[in-house]
């Protein structure tokens, strides 16, 4: 048995635990679901939570034994809306893809060091980046990539300038901006774009389902794409056993998306009561974000057009939260930071306290988001995570302070997190 005392620090190097047992003693467990803590001990074997017990657990031979010293043990956090490949500052937008990759790697590190063991990329990041994380080439959370966002011509993912010709019309590739979006018009192009993403390794599909703030050509009220195109995307994704998430704000857009099979709405800030009811009735998720909308106006180079659109959607934020609560809509935890804004990550945890209790926020960032990730069905080959339960993946955080009483302790993860474990690998140990 190797006993680690509080004076010993393993540091930031990943300690491969996949052939070993780790016993975490004396913790108060937040299991990801219940608002109350329960005192106990947790044994991890081969990256899986083997035993959760109120009584002392005998350490297996060779086990690493950690004294949790009565800290709170939580499942690792999950963010349902990232854009790893969308972090070039505006001044670097036209730089080569390697620069976007460097920013993506910095963001991935920031996330894991902040206790986020899983993220769903809401488009733009190639699935190869998930493979690079899995291979250990890039340090970061488990990544569920959507591949290139699928957008109609002139839609929210059309990043061209007004005078640029349509690439397909001039014999080029329909992929824009380092393959972060793909122009698809009509059922056939939509089927191909979705299948191409799935072929590349996307675990779910992102479509642009209505006007957006940071794009140039599409007013917020615009409907994108046609019902037949939405159904094509849903069918191609469904044939792989997975689902479509769609960017949208307005009631009209969300109704069209839900009626044609989309299972997860991104943002949704302008929906009305009847639409929220429809969403709830169809078990559709509304993954929304607070901080990004409150800070976008500070982005260098944001245009007057973008600012005007921002004002319109931001006005709907409070009403959307009210509807999410009223109809008990699954929302999870999501951020949507772009152009380097990801350093505000933990602000999304703390600002939610305006509307939700610390326990509710912790549930959103763990078990509730994990349920959304699991909508990929049989494509999930990473095991079940997001709760502290026997047989589940050992994504674990040991937290200093009382996050269920004051979520703001998580604002500074460097001091707040004493231990970060991803699938049994200790990536940080300050015990
Ligand atoms: Zn986004």
- Mind listing the domains of the chain with CATH numbers? 2-76+385-429 (2.30.40.10), 77-379 (3.20.20.140)
Instruction: Give yes or no for a contact between 423 and 142, defined as CB atoms under 8 angstroms apart.
Output: yes
Q: pLDDT at residue 4 above 80?
A: no
Structure tokens at 198: 């799935």
pLDDT for 91: 84
Q: Tell me the pLDDT tens digit for each residue of 259-304.
A: 999 999 999 999 999 999 999 999 999 999 999 999 999 998 899 9
Whose CA is closest to 371, among 391, 357, 382, 385? 385
Helices and strands, counts by H and E, the chain: 13, 18
Q: How far is the CA of 233 from the centre of ligand 1 (A)?
A: 18
Residue 269 CA to ligand 1 centre (angstroms) = 13
Contact criterion met (CB below 8 Å) for 83 and 129: no
Give the Å distance between the CA of 163 and the centre of ligand 1.
25
User: In angstroms, what is the span from residue 5 Cα to ligand 1's centroid?
Assistant: 43
Q: What is the pLDDT of residue 19?
A: 54
Burial of residue 15, with CB atoms counted within 10 A of its CB: 0-12 exposed, 13-18 middle, 19 or more buried: middle
261 CA distance to ligand 1 centroid (A)? 20
State the pLDDT at residue 424. Answer: 97
Is pLDDT above 50 for 213?
Answer: yes
99 vs 340: CA distance, rounded Å? 12
Residue 304 CA to ligand 1 centre (angstroms)? 20
Measured in Å, residue 389 CA sits from the centre of ligand 1 at 31
Cα(422) to ligand 1 centroid in Å equals 25
Q: What does the DSSP 8-state code read for residue 95? A: S
pLDDT at 211 over 90: yes
Q: State in Å: Cα 150 to ligand 1 middle.
A: 12
**Nearest CA among 173, 3, 181, 6 for reference residue 86:** 181
* CA of residue 425 to ligand 1 center, whole Å: 29
According to DSSP, the residues that pair with 421 across neighbouring strands are 396, 426
CA of 64 to the centre of ligand 1 (A): 40
Q: For residue 153, what pLDDT is reported?
A: 97
176 phi and psi, to 5 degrees? Answer: -115, 155
Residue 115 gets which letter from DSSP? T
Of the two residues 143 and 94, the one the predictor is more confident about is 143
Give residue 414 CA to ligand 1 midpoint distance, Å. Answer: 26
How remote is the CA of residue 134 from the centroid of ligand 1, in Å?
Answer: 23
Report the separation in Å between the CA atom of 30 and the middle of ligand 1, taken as the mean of its atom positions: 30
- Residue pLDDT, tens place only, 92-138: 878 999 999 999 999 999 999 999 999 999 999 999 999 999 999 99
Q: Are strands 396-399 and 64-75 parallel, antiparallel or unpaired?
A: antiparallel
Checking if the pLDDT of 1 tops 80, the result is no
Q: How far is the CA of 166 from the centre of ligand 1 (A)?
A: 23
How far, in Å, from the CA of 325 to the mean position of ligand 1?
A: 23
Ligand 1 centre distance from Cα of residue 81 (Å): 6
Q: How far is the CA of 145 from the centre of ligand 1 (A)?
A: 13
Q: How far, in Å, CA of 189 to CA of 183, rounded?
A: 8
Q: What is the pTM of this model?
A: 0.94
**Ion ligand 1 — residues with CB < 5 Å:** 122, 336
Unique residue bearing structure tokens 């001039």:
170
pLDDT tens digits, 326-375: 999 999 999 999 999 999 999 999 999 999 999 999 999 999 999 999 99
Classify residue 91 as exposed, middle or buried by CB count within 10 Å of its CB (0-12, 13-18, 19+): exposed
Q: Over the stretch 10-64, which tens digit does the pLDDT of each residue have?
A: 444 444 444 599 999 999 999 999 999 999 999 999 999 999 999 999 999 999 9
Q: Specify the pLDDT at position 336.
A: 98
By the 8 A CB rule, do 68 and 24 touch?
Answer: yes
Distance from the CA of 70 to the center of ligand 1, in angstroms? 38
Return the pLDDT at 150: 98
Task: For residue 36, give Cα distances in angstroms to 27, 39, 356, 359.
Answer: 13, 10, 16, 8
Cα 293 from Cα 339, distance rounded (Å)? 14
Q: What is the DSSP string of 267-313?
A: EEEE--HHHHHHHHHTT-EEE--SHHHHHGGGSTT--HHHHHHHHHH
Edge-to-edge strand ranges of the sheet holding 181-183: 175-176, 181-183, 149-151, 205-208, 244-250, 264-270, 285-287
79 Cα–ligand 1 center, Å = 12
Q: What's the 125 CA to ligand 1 centre distance in angstroms? A: 11
Over the chain, what is the mean pLDDT?
94
Asked if pLDDT for residue 2 goes beyond 90, the answer is no
């Amino acid at each position: 048995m190797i006993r680690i005392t509080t004076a010993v620090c393993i540091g930031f190097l990943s300690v491969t635990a996949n052939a070993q047992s780790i016993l975490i003693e004396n913790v108060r467990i937040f299991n990801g679901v219940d608002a109350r803590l329960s005192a106990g001990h947790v044994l991890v074997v081969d990256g899986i939570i083997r035993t959760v017990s109120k009584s002392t657990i005998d350490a297996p031979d060779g086990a690493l034994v950690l004294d949790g010293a009565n800290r709170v043990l939580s499942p690792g956090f999950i963010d349902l809306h990232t854009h790893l490949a969308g972090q070039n500052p505006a001044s670097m937008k036209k730089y080569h893809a390697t620069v976007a990759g460097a920013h993506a790697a910095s963001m991935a590190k920031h996330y894991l060091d902040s206790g986020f063991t899983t993220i769903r990329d809401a488009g733009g990041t190639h699935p190869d980046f998930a493979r690079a994380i899995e291979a250990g080439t890039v340090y970061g959370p488990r990544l569920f990539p959507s591949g290139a966002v699928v957008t109609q011509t002139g839609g929210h993912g059309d990043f061209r300038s007004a005078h640029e010709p349509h690439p397909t019309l001039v014999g080029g590739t329909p992929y824009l901006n380092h393959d972060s979006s793909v122009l698809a018009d009509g059922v056939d192009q939509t089927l191909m774009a979705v299948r191409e993403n799935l072929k590349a390794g996307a675990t779910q599909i992102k479509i642009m389902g209505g006007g957006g703030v940071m794009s140039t050509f599409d007013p917020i009220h615009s409907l994108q794409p046609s019902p037949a195109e939405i159904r094509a995307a849903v069918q191609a994704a469904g044939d792989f056993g997975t689902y479509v998430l769609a960017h949208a704000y307005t009631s009209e857009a969300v109704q069209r998306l839900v009626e044609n099979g989309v299972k997860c709405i991104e943002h949704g800030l302008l929906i009305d009561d009847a639409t929220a009811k429809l969403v709830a009735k169809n078990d559709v998720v509304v993954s929304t974000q607070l901080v990004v909308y409150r800070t976008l106006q500070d982005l260098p180079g944001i245009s007057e057009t973008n600012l005007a659109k921002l004002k319109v959607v931001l006005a709907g934020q409070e009403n959307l939260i009210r509807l999410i609560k009223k109809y008990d809509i699954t929302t999870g935890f999501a951020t949507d930071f772009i152009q380097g804004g990801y350093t505000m990550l933990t602000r999304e945890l703390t600002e939610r306290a305006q509307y939700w209790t610390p326990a509710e926020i912790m549930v959103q960032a763990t078990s509730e988001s994990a349920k959304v990730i699991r909508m990929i069905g049989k494509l999930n080959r990473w095991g079940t995570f997001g709760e502290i339960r026997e047989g589940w993946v050992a994504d674990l955080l040991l937290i200093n302070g009382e996050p269920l009483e004051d979520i703001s302790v998580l604002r500074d993860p460097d001091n707040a997190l004493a231990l970060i474990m991803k699938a049994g690998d200790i990536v940080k140990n300050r015990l």
